[in-house]
Amino acid sequence: MRVELRVEAWRAWLDERLGTEAVREFLRRKEVPIHRHTIWYYFGGMTLFLFVVQVVTGALLLLYYRPSAEAAFESVQFIMTEVEFGWLVRSIHSWSANLMIATLFVHMFSAYFMKAYRPPRELTWVSGALLLLLVLAFGFSGYLLPWNKLAFFATKVGTDIAGDVPLIGRFLLRFLRGGEEVTGATLTRFFGFHVAILPGMMTIVLALHLILVQKHGMSVPPSLEGTSLKRMPFFPNFLLRDLIGWILAIGALAALAALFPWGLGEKADPFAPAPAGIKPEWYFLFMFQTLRLLPAKVGIVEGEVLGVTIFLLGGIFWMLVPFLDKPTSRRRSRLFTGVGVFFVLYIAVMTVWGYLT
Amino acid sequence: MARARWAVLILTIATLVGSGADWTRAEQKKDSCVECHAALEGSLAAPVEAMREDIHRARGFSCADCHGGDPSRDDPLESMDPKKGFLARPSPRAIPALCGRCHSDAEFMKRYNPALRVDQEREYFTSVHGKRLRAGDTRVATCTSCHGAHGIRPAHHPLSPVYSLRVAETCARCHADVAYMKGYRIPSDQYERYKRSVHARALYERQDLSAPTCNDCHGNHGAVPPGVASVAHVCGQCHVRQSTLFQASPHKAAFDVMRLAECVYCHGNHDVPSPTDEMIGTGEKSVCLSCHPPGDVGYQAAERMRAMLDELSRNLERAQAILDRAERAGMEVSRAKFELNEARDALTHARVLIHAFSVKELENVIRPGLEVAQRGYHAGERALAELNYRRKGLAVSLLFILFLAFLLYLKVREIEGTR
């Protein structure tokens, strides 16, 4: 009895200072609708969990990683061979990054097809689209950090493509590379992006995204709107299910790290010729393959410039979908579903094509 | 009077034009040789055609500079008048002197190519070719046999018959012709044998122009077969270390006494094969056995040296194999693999050091190499053990993780069952 009293006193003390009772009350009332598409609700949480894994393993890698052209490769090699469980941390960091991008894509497309961006969730969608951009930037900047041959040339090609952005391409290329060429300056710069600038931006956008999700709750697909749906409490029912997924994800990451450790390759040599068949990471492959298929000149415009412009416009369109799709118009709504299917098919076909050629 | 004035004017213009750069001289001056021969057919027109690519023509020389005569005259009897030095076809015996007229004249040559040597003619008469020519044999090679007569290109031109990649073929035109070489009492299979050699492979397959062809060992203008006394110097020009080691080895004196041609005795000459470890030791392909009978000191040393080479090779292969296996399994062993290069270097060094024929010296190189190879092997073993440890660790953690997930599942069922 006395123990309970003490706990109660602590709770009151904290509530007075932090307003914890409001949070408890919120959690008590937060519910998740149950229907045949509920499975898709788990992917946002899974992406968030994998992001946390990234933060934790990234922080551990920082203890040994040295961001310079002279030492980066050797320090990652040291992490992989000499540091206790360094191999595990680095492999998990690499695998988790890829899984996170995969679950992010699933989360994004499920939200798209369930039209979760309908009012009043437009800004949740926009913040999510910004998160996608940030995550891709994380992927691109992190890929270079081990300073191996493949990463070096992938960055060279990637920043070359950035150079094709209309108007600001030239500036962008120099800004990303820290000069005309990919050098040690690019490495330190990418390191800065990867561990300071991007995490800072990520914190803000992710916080906004999560607050908006809490504010508006789970969206129900239009087809089920208006029907009476069963609901489960978020805490603990849904969270426990989330937890099962996260624990299984840890198992999957451990298995991937132990059975397929992330390779290191050869140290980058700026004077060596580019290895044949150089390809970017899988999540950039559909764009890369598109640029590869475009002819050198389309009319008076250079093929690559045209490709990059189309992707930029496509990205802007994607971000503005909530404002273009009118939920009241069935025809337009169907059109947007069609556009989504086209995007998914396009990305899938181009990615597979890119891998096979 | 007016006519005379015109003549003076034309003459002045002609002189001005003619005093231009040397290479334009041939184009500008009247050259009845070219005019007539270009209009002829067959072999009489061929020289004009061939001369288009000739280095001499590019420098401003023309037919009369070698053949004599007077190219300013149209009448063949005048232009090809022997009294004016005309020489239709210089005899082979006259050719070295004819070319030497310019090529042996340092003052003259440095106006065109200061880097070119001017002792070719002198060298030529020290060669077997030159000596035989002097003795009256006109079937031997003279300047034109190798360089051509019309259409001579500089030696570094890929189409020149004396360009590195074409030298052997050029020599073979005579030396591989059994009928032509009959009576000279030298073999005619050198070209065929050379083509099988490690040198020819380097030259033709790798296009390594530093690899030796005929003239690199025999000399070019002063071509002679290297004798027993000089062959080691010839090989030693490139294989300096091997040569130095051999000169200081106990074999040097023995080979001298037995009058054996040093390098050639073990490695052969025209068809020098790629050397293998099998050349040393007491096996079938060993070259040591041709002098050392079983049981003698040399025989034992050969056996020991071969055993050491084999041991290092074996250990190197073993280390490489285990590191490859670990790498394929995804382990990071690039540093260990890089360090293995040290053992590889030691093996290369040891193979060269064989030419000192000293077991002790060889041991000094083999031993550190063996240690490196052992380290590489252990690194591979450790990597595989680590891989095993990881797999076991994974199995245990997965069991734990699955158990935890199962407990959570039970908890969810419990909560939802009670509601």
pLDDT of residue B89: 86
- Rg of chain A in Å (alpha carbons): 23
Q: Which residues contact B18 (CB under 8 A, 6 or more apart)?
A: B25, B28, B29
CA distance A239 to chain B (A): 10
Q: Three-state SS for A231?
A: strand
pLDDT of residue B16: 44
Instruction: Give how far the C-alpha of residue A184 lies from the chain's centroid of Cα atoms, to the nearest Å.
Output: 26
Q: Residue B342, Cβ neighbours under 10 Å: how many? A: 16
The helices-and-strands tally (H runs, E runs) of chain B is: 24, 0
CB B252 within 8 A of CB B236: no
What is the domain partition of chain A in residue ranges? 1-34, 36-281
Could you give phi then psi for residue A230, rounded to 5 degrees?
-70, 150
Single-letter residue type at B403: F
Structure tokens at B90: 């210089």
**Chain B contact present for A100, CB below 8 A:** no
Cα–Cα distance, A165 to A311 (Å, whole number) = 10
Q: Where are the beta strands (DSSP E) in chain A?
A: 31-34, 230-233, 297-298, 301-302
pLDDT of residue A1: 57
CB contact under 8 Å between A81 and B335, yes or no, is: yes
Residue B28 pLDDT greater than 90, yes or no: no
| ipTM at complex level | 0.86
Given pLDDT bands bounded at 50, 70 and 90, which one contains residue B5?
Answer: low
pLDDT of residue B400: 97
The pTM assigned to this predicted structure is 0.73
Mean pLDDT across B155-174: 94
Q: Note the pLDDT tens digit of each residue in A284-342.
A: 999 999 999 999 998 888 999 999 999 999 999 999 999 999 877 888 889 999 999 99
Given pLDDT bands bounded at 50, 70 and 90, which one contains residue B270?
Answer: very high
Q: Three-state SS for A302?
A: strand
CB contact under 8 Å between A237 and B334, yes or no, is: no
CB A95 within 8 A of CB A256: yes
Single-letter residue type at B214: C
CA nearest to A239 within chain B:
B412
Given pLDDT bands bounded at 50, 70 and 90, which one contains residue B21?
Answer: very low
Range of the domain at B381: 300-418
Asked whether residue B291 is domain-assigned, the answer is no
**CATH label of the domain that carries residue B375:** 1.20.140
Cα–Cα distance, A136 to B280 (Å, whole number) = 61
Q: Which residues contact A184 (CB under 8 A, 6 or more apart)?
A: A68, A69, A70
Asked whether residue B335 is domain-assigned, the answer is yes
Asked whether residue B387 is domain-assigned, the answer is yes
**Chain B contact present for A230, CB below 8 A:** no
Class for domain A36-281, per CATH?
mainly alpha
Asked whether residue B84 is domain-assigned, the answer is no
Q: What residues of chain B lie within 8 A of the CB of A260, using their CB? A: 330
Alpha helices in B90-213 (DSSP H): 95-103, 106-109, 120-124, 128-134, 143-147, 164-175, 178-181, 190-195, 198-200
Q: Residue A265, Cβ neighbours under 10 Å: how many? A: 16
Cα A268 to Cα A62, A71, A178, A193, distances in angstroms: 20, 11, 17, 20
Sign of the Cα pseudo-torsion (B344, B345, B351, B354, in order):
negative
Asked whether residue B76 is domain-assigned, the answer is no
Cα–Cα distance, B345 to B368 (Å, whole number) = 11
Residue B44 pLDDT greater than 60, yes or no: yes
Q: Note the pLDDT tens digit of each residue in B179-232.
A: 999 989 889 999 999 999 999 999 999 999 999 999 999 988 988 877 777 877
The residue of A247, A250, A264, A267 whose CB has the most chain B CBs within 10 angstroms, and thus the best one to mutate to test that interface, is: A247
Average per-residue pLDDT for chain B: 89
Q: Residue B315, Cβ neighbours under 10 Å: how many? A: 21
Mean pLDDT across B121-142: 94
pLDDT of residue A129: 97
CB A303 within 8 A of CB A294: yes
pLDDT of residue B25: 46
The residue of B335, B390, B396, B400 whose CB has the most chain A CBs within 10 angstroms, and thus the best one to mutate to test that interface, is: B390
CB A39 within 8 A of CB A218: no
- The tally of domains found in chain B comes to 1
CA distance A32 to chain B (A): 14
Q: What is the dihedral of CA A248, A249, A251, A255, to 10 degrees?
A: 140
B404 → closest Cβ in A87, A247, A264? A247
Residue numbers of chain A with a pLDDT score lower than 50: none
